[in-house]
Structure 1
Amino acid sequence: RKGLRKMKQSSKKLLALMTAGMLCAGSLGALPAFAETEGETGENDTIETAEAIDVNTEVTGNLSSDNDVDCYKVTLQEDGTLSATFTRPSLNDYRSFWTLKLVNENNTLVQEWDIDGEGTAYRTDNEGIKAGTYYYIVSTASLHSKETYTLNVTYTPVSETTTYYEAEFNNDAESANPISVNTPYSGNIRNDNDVDYYSINLDNPGSLAIQFSTSSNEDNRDFWDIYLLDENENQIDSWKKSADNLKVTFKSIGLRSGKYYIKVTSDSLSLKDTYTIQANFTPSTDEKKFEEEHNDELSAANTFALNSSITGNIHDDKDIDYYALNLEQDGLIQFNFKHTDIEDSRDFWNYFLTDAEGNKICDWEISGTTTNQKTSKMGLQKGTYYLVVKSAFLYNDVDYIISNTFSSDGVFEAESNDTIETANKIPVATACVGNLYKNNDVDYYSFTVDKTSEVSISFNHVDLEDNRTFWNFSLLSGDENALLKQSVNGDKTNVKSDTVKLEKGTYFIKVASSYLSSDANYTLTVNAKEITYTKGDANADGSIDSTDVFEMMYSCAKKAVGRTDDLLEGENFLAADIDENGTLDSTDIFYEMLYIASKGAGVPVDWDSIVK
């Protein structure tokens, strides 16, 4: 702001008196000297000699010449509102005759008004003012008038008003006016250089929405710039306000507890109309939580409690929202992203999940017309993860609500399990929920059979209504040899693999995408039927004798001539396959006969001593 620069030279009135004296001396008779109007001292032409006046009391004066200046001093004991009524006779002239200025004790201009000759009473707007000493200065404008004026300074202490005003000077954060939330305050941008700062203290985290009101003059240009700043004056968001929009409530911003500033200024245009600003605040509750800015990086992430929701906002196209999830145990997590319909089917939001180091695990995009999107369930190992929300191809500042559902019940894949070394251990005969969250994702599982068993794998998923192949799974030995392979089409919701005999031990299942991929959840079940038999008891009658030899020889003979009926199979075949090489032949019959003969002769014998 400019300080008051125009001051009357101290010699002005002295020169006028000397001139008048010389005129008198050369006259035949004495001329009457001009007398100051009652209420003026006659020597109140500088702020140093200003006449002290009482507020809410009239004082009269006039400008004896176009160089005359009248200064009045008012002292305020507390913050309040100040206005002035300037009454004069009507000159029926629209041009400016008087200039009224309000300055502070440092002679810094607070406000200035030009008063024309058309009306009789001119009242300034209420000025929010801080306690202290101020001066009203009356001087000639573009034209001079000697008419007597009356000045009445009206003051209302802040303790006696229910209307709150900006209190100048509040041009920086240090001198910001403290304001309460949900309370309107009036202010004014007096000139291009004026800046209004307001400070707010939030005791709790919550959502802040700034409401800005002005009188409308049908001008759609932007006259006001409004900024929300953190306690270090870093910008959180900004908005513009035109004069043709009477009242606007800017989008809400989720904030942490702490101190914030609202800054009001003008850009290239200025309008001296009074504005009203109100900081509407809604605190977070257990039922409804808000994003808390700044949360634009991993280290500043908001805590995202499990089985809860958060309302957030991408307030500009560079904004990023980070949320931290702490899983104290392995579990399944699912996200639900909601927003209002913005009637545009293109993608506006991108959200993704990262590990503790910020490495992306999976991501999703959501369009402007998809108002409710649920992700597939994802199995995660215990630890810290981050959900990140940012703009996609397009930007929109509509609020979003994101929630998570977490459960540690059941059996599920737990990322990362992309290698055989990191395979998830799963029990047999129990459904395990899994997910291929991206094209190159691979899921490994391990399971153990305690005894020789017949094993198959069941694979279930929702109907994708597409008959092409989306999944491939295989059963692997410990050295990663494939014991069986199976493909799964999108329209085949229940697939069961062939059965394979597995000896006691640990095995692996690998699930991968085909040339097509889907992030739909699948359910994997290892079916294992323990094979129970007594080696050598081919007819399963509870004893090992010549009848078993007969069954073995009979089966071999039929197979030799190409017959397939009544062959030994299943557990009977396994009992007859003495050397366990998968084939029933004369060697097995020899071992069987040797075992029976040794037993009959009373020679201690077991199968390990027979089969060497």
Structure 2
Amino acid sequence: MFLKKRLFIFALVLMMLFISMCTVTTFAEMSDEAELISVNSKVVDNLPTGNTVRYYKFELPEPGKVYLSFEHKNLEDIYIYWEVTMFDSLENEVLKLESKGRDTTSKTMNAYIDKGTYYIRVLNPSRFAAHSKSNYTLCVNYTENKGEYEIEPNYNWELATEIPEINKPITGNIKSSGDVDFYKITLPNPGKVNLGFNHSNIEKSFPHWKITMFDSTENEVLYYESDGTSTTGKSENAYLDAGTYYIRVTSYTSYVYSNVDYSLCVNFTEYQGEYEIEPNNSMEEASLIIDLNEPITGNLRHNTDKDYYKFSMPFTGKVNLVFNHSNLESWTSHWKIALFDTKGNKIYEMDSAGTDTELKSKDINLQMGIYYVRVEPWSIYSHRSVDYTLTIKAENYFPIKVLLNGKRIIFDQQPIIDNGRTLVPLRAIFEAMNATVSWDDKTKTVTAQKGDIAVVMVIGNNTMTKNGNQILLDVPPQIFNGRTLVPARAVAESFGAKVDWDANTRTVIITQ
């Protein structure tokens, strides 16, 4: 009995070894024996014996979306007759499907891959237990990537898929629980950013994806989790500077993930002075409040975040701090708002509770000059990341705006009106018009050059020169509140622009 048992075990081992040897496929065999096929063209073939293996090779001329489709007649059973696997040129598995006897039509998930050479292997995984000589039809379905798909591999920063256009979605998927998708995006200007993340309903209410956005120094700027039933989702807002950013998409855990396609979109609104610009965690990094009576929007992204703002007081008088946010239905204080002078001396402070949707300070008397406002969490335990608006309110004060080709020019000192003429900070308007600017502090002389036009102005002098020709100014350039101001109309017209004035909105409209 013992001898029979040992003989049975030995025979079983030999049979397993034989089957194992039959199923070994070297990559060299695949490369040498592979039949060249074309994408988007059907291939009809079969496995005449249980240990037959078919190899195919195809080229992708450009990156794109690929999936495999596989068809055969109905064998009317549930056994697996075909195993179809796709590999890249480095032997990494890209796609795989198993086709049962009654699965007359099958297809893989999508793969978003780079151009290059790929291989497909078709075999009978059971070898002898379930084999069919029936013909099958195989097709490599390919759509060229024109910026709308991820490109695998993109599992780290260096391999990140470039998102070519803001406000345009890109499609990807998490192939397995260990897959990571990195994306790279460049913001051309400061602005408001949030991440849109959409997918089909997988009918599971717990999170399946984690989406994190980083700046170029790997600081987290946005984080979002997407549930299986949240088919349309959006992160909170981040108010960011121009530059390069990265987005990482991962499975929620190694046990909770989905390989369905997702759509990721970087939603961007260009800064026109209405948002904070992160980072602004200190006076040196303070976001500019471009004028009194104009609200600026921000948020505290985490419980140690601080937002600093800087504003210019163009006169001596009274102002109020106005702080608004949505109703959090909480009596707890969530924000501390403080006003400082340039030396860091605290002038005023107030707290905002969750139900204080419109909070206004008492009257604050300020001298003409530069001031700072700090917004921070009331405590690390009462932090809220919702958006707020901050306004420096001044009675009977009406801001002056300057638009160049429909876009507002941002000044660190408010424009003023002197003798019916609007004066603006020199560097901002010259650079907005693509002129180079130089300043001679000894002679108080401003020189601006654009192409073959050179404009020279001297502080306090009513005469401006353009290419050596003198032009009389109604109002001379002047220094106001520590800034050099120049006549907007004279500057713009000297470079060939058209200038209009809208008295109702107090707006200078420059068209180049």
Report the TM range for the smaller structure's normalisation: 0.5 to 0.7
Aligned twin of 1:171:
155
Aligned twin of 2:378:
392
Q: Deviations over 1:295-327 (max 9, x none)?
A: 233433222223132111222323222222345
Q: Would you say 1:256 and 2:226 are equivalent positions?
A: no
Alpha-carbon distance between aligned partners in 2 of 1:324 and 1:113, rounded to the nearest angstrom: 60
> Given that residues 61 and 115 in structure 2 are in contact (C-alpha distance below 8 angstroms), is that contact kept between their aligned partners in structure 1?
yes
Alpha-carbon distance between aligned partners in 2 of 1:134 and 1:83, rounded to the nearest angstrom: 12
Q: Would you say 1:85 and 2:79 are equivalent positions?
A: no
Aligned twin of 2:114:
130
Alpha-carbon distance between aligned partners in 2 of 1:48 and 1:390, rounded to the nearest angstrom: 66
Q: Deviations over 1:346-376 (max 9, x none)?
A: 2222222234455544321111221111112
Q: Would you say 1:246 and 2:231 are equivalent positions?
A: yes
Q: Which runs of 5+ in 1 are unaligned?
A: 1-7, 16-42, 410-612
Alignment match of 2:138 (pick from 151, 155, 161): 151
Alignment match of 2:82 (pick from 91, 98, 106): 98
Alignment match of 1:218 (pick from 203, 207, 212): 203
Alpha-carbon distance between aligned partners in 1 of 2:374 and 2:183, rounded to the nearest angstrom: 32
Go from structure 1 to structure 2 and tell me whether the alpha carbon gap of 1:230 and 1:66 turns closer, same or farther (over 3 Å shift): farther
Letter in structure 2 aligned against 1:405 = K
Aligned twin of 1:401:
389
> Given that residues 325 and 384 in structure 1 are in contact (C-alpha distance below 8 angstroms), is that contact kept between their aligned partners in structure 2?
yes
> Given that residues 215 and 245 in structure 2 are in contact (C-alpha distance below 8 angstroms), is that contact kept between their aligned partners in structure 1?
yes
> Given that residues 46 and 69 in structure 1 are in contact (C-alpha distance below 8 angstroms), is that contact kept between their aligned partners in structure 2?
no
Alpha-carbon distance between aligned partners in 1 of 2:87 and 2:235, rounded to the nearest angstrom: 34
| CA-CA distance at 1:230 after TM superposition | 1.0
Alpha-carbon distance between aligned partners in 2 of 1:184 and 1:213, rounded to the nearest angstrom: 10
Aligned twin of 1:265:
250
Alpha-carbon distance between aligned partners in 2 of 1:324 and 1:68, rounded to the nearest angstrom: 75
Go from structure 1 to structure 2 and tell me whether the alpha carbon gap of 1:140 and 1:306 turns closer, same or farther (over 3 Å shift): same
Go from structure 1 to structure 2 and tell me whether the alpha carbon gap of 1:164 and 1:361 turns closer, same or farther (over 3 Å shift): same
Aligned twin of 2:267:
280
Alpha-carbon distance between aligned partners in 2 of 1:347 and 1:45, rounded to the nearest angstrom: 70
> Given that residues 86 and 94 in structure 2 are in contact (C-alpha distance below 8 angstroms), is that contact kept between their aligned partners in structure 1?
yes
User: Could you tell me the TM-score, scaled by structure 1's length?
Assistant: 0.55
> Given that residues 155 and 180 in structure 2 are in contact (C-alpha distance below 8 angstroms), is that contact kept between their aligned partners in structure 1?
yes
Alignment match of 2:58 (pick from 45, 55, 74): 74
Go from structure 1 to structure 2 and tell me whether the alpha carbon gap of 1:11 and 1:382 turns closer, same or farther (over 3 Å shift): same
Go from structure 1 to structure 2 and tell me whether the alpha carbon gap of 1:255 and 1:67 turns closer, same or farther (over 3 Å shift): farther
Go from structure 1 to structure 2 and tell me whether the alpha carbon gap of 1:220 and 1:332 turns closer, same or farther (over 3 Å shift): same
Alignment match of 1:188 (pick from 138, 162, 173): 173
Q: Would you say 1:342 and 2:328 are equivalent positions?
A: yes
Alpha-carbon distance between aligned partners in 1 of 2:343 and 2:257, rounded to the nearest angstrom: 49
| CA-CA distance at 1:55 after TM superposition | 0.8
> Given that residues 213 and 246 in structure 1 are in contact (C-alpha distance below 8 angstroms), is that contact kept between their aligned partners in structure 2?
yes
Alpha-carbon distance between aligned partners in 1 of 2:91 and 2:357, rounded to the nearest angstrom: 59
Alpha-carbon distance between aligned partners in 1 of 2:82 and 2:161, rounded to the nearest angstrom: 32
Aligned to 1:46, the other structure's residue is in SS state: helix
Letter in structure 2 aligned against 1:128 = Y
Alpha-carbon distance between aligned partners in 1 of 2:68 and 2:232, rounded to the nearest angstrom: 28
Letter in structure 2 aligned against 1:212 = F
Go from structure 1 to structure 2 and tell me whether the alpha carbon gap of 1:156 and 1:344 turns closer, same or farther (over 3 Å shift): same
> Given that residues 202 and 228 in structure 2 are in contact (C-alpha distance below 8 angstroms), is that contact kept between their aligned partners in structure 1?
yes
Larger relative contact order (CA 8 Å, sep ≥ 6)? 2
Go from structure 1 to structure 2 and tell me whether the alpha carbon gap of 1:50 and 1:373 turns closer, same or farther (over 3 Å shift): same
Alignment match of 1:310 (pick from 278, 281, 296): 296
> Given that residues 324 and 384 in structure 1 are in contact (C-alpha distance below 8 angstroms), is that contact kept between their aligned partners in structure 2?
yes
Aligned twin of 1:60:
44
> Given that residues 208 and 255 in structure 1 are in contact (C-alpha distance below 8 angstroms), is that contact kept between their aligned partners in structure 2?
yes
| CA-CA distance at 1:86 after TM superposition | 0.9
Aligned twin of 1:429:
none
Aligned to 1:186, the other structure's residue is in SS state: strand
| CA-CA distance at 1:10 after TM superposition | 13
Aligned to 1:173, the other structure's residue is in SS state: coil
Matched positions, count: 369
> Given that residues 45 and 68 in structure 1 are in contact (C-alpha distance below 8 angstroms), is that contact kept between their aligned partners in structure 2?
no
Go from structure 1 to structure 2 and tell me whether the alpha carbon gap of 1:166 and 1:382 turns closer, same or farther (over 3 Å shift): same
Q: Which has the higher strand share?
A: 2
Aligned to 1:376, the other structure's residue is in SS state: coil
Q: Deviations over 1:246-275 (max 9, x none)?
A: 211222221112221221101311111111
Go from structure 1 to structure 2 and tell me whether the alpha carbon gap of 1:68 and 1:379 turns closer, same or farther (over 3 Å shift): farther
Q: Would you say 1:377 and 2:363 are equivalent positions?
A: yes
Letter in structure 1 aligned against 2:281 = D
| CA-CA distance at 1:53 after TM superposition | 1.1
Alpha-carbon distance between aligned partners in 2 of 1:52 and 1:58, rounded to the nearest angstrom: 12
Aligned twin of 2:3:
none
User: What is the root-mean-square deviation in Å for CA atoms of aligned residues?
Assistant: 3.1
Aligned twin of 1:204:
189
Aligned to 1:207, the other structure's residue is in SS state: strand
Alpha-carbon distance between aligned partners in 2 of 1:188 and 1:112, rounded to the nearest angstrom: 15
Alpha-carbon distance between aligned partners in 1 of 2:287 and 2:308, rounded to the nearest angstrom: 6
Alpha-carbon distance between aligned partners in 2 of 1:99 and 1:283, rounded to the nearest angstrom: 51
Letter in structure 1 aligned against 2:295 = S
Go from structure 1 to structure 2 and tell me whether the alpha carbon gap of 1:96 and 1:372 turns closer, same or farther (over 3 Å shift): farther
Alpha-carbon distance between aligned partners in 2 of 1:129 and 1:111, rounded to the nearest angstrom: 11
Aligned to 1:55, the other structure's residue is in SS state: coil
| CA-CA distance at 1:243 after TM superposition | 0.3
Alpha-carbon distance between aligned partners in 2 of 1:353 and 1:74, rounded to the nearest angstrom: 67
Alpha-carbon distance between aligned partners in 1 of 2:227 and 2:235, rounded to the nearest angstrom: 13
> Given that residues 81 and 99 in structure 2 are in contact (C-alpha distance below 8 angstroms), is that contact kept between their aligned partners in structure 1?
yes
| CA-CA distance at 1:79 after TM superposition | 2.1
Go from structure 1 to structure 2 and tell me whether the alpha carbon gap of 1:151 and 1:403 turns closer, same or farther (over 3 Å shift): same
Q: Deviations over 1:380-418 (max 9, x none)?
A: 455543322222242322211111135899xxxxxxxxx
Aligned to 1:101, the other structure's residue is in SS state: strand
Go from structure 1 to structure 2 and tell me whether the alpha carbon gap of 1:195 and 1:48 turns closer, same or farther (over 3 Å shift): farther
> Given that residues 171 and 262 in structure 2 are in contact (C-alpha distance below 8 angstroms), is that contact kept between their aligned partners in structure 1?
yes
| CA-CA distance at 1:141 after TM superposition | 4.2
| CA-CA distance at 1:208 after TM superposition | 1.3
Q: Which runs of 5+ in 2 are unaligned?
A: 1-17, 398-512
Letter in structure 2 aligned against 1:251 = E
Go from structure 1 to structure 2 and tell me whether the alpha carbon gap of 1:190 and 1:326 turns closer, same or farther (over 3 Å shift): same
| CA-CA distance at 1:283 after TM superposition | 1.5
> Given that residues 44 and 50 in structure 1 are in contact (C-alpha distance below 8 angstroms), is that contact kept between their aligned partners in structure 2?
no
Q: Would you say 1:234 and 2:222 are equivalent positions?
A: no
Letter in structure 2 aligned against 1:130 = D
Alpha-carbon distance between aligned partners in 2 of 1:44 and 1:70, rounded to the nearest angstrom: 14
Alpha-carbon distance between aligned partners in 1 of 2:167 and 2:176, rounded to the nearest angstrom: 27
Q: Would you say 1:294 and 2:282 are equivalent positions?
A: no
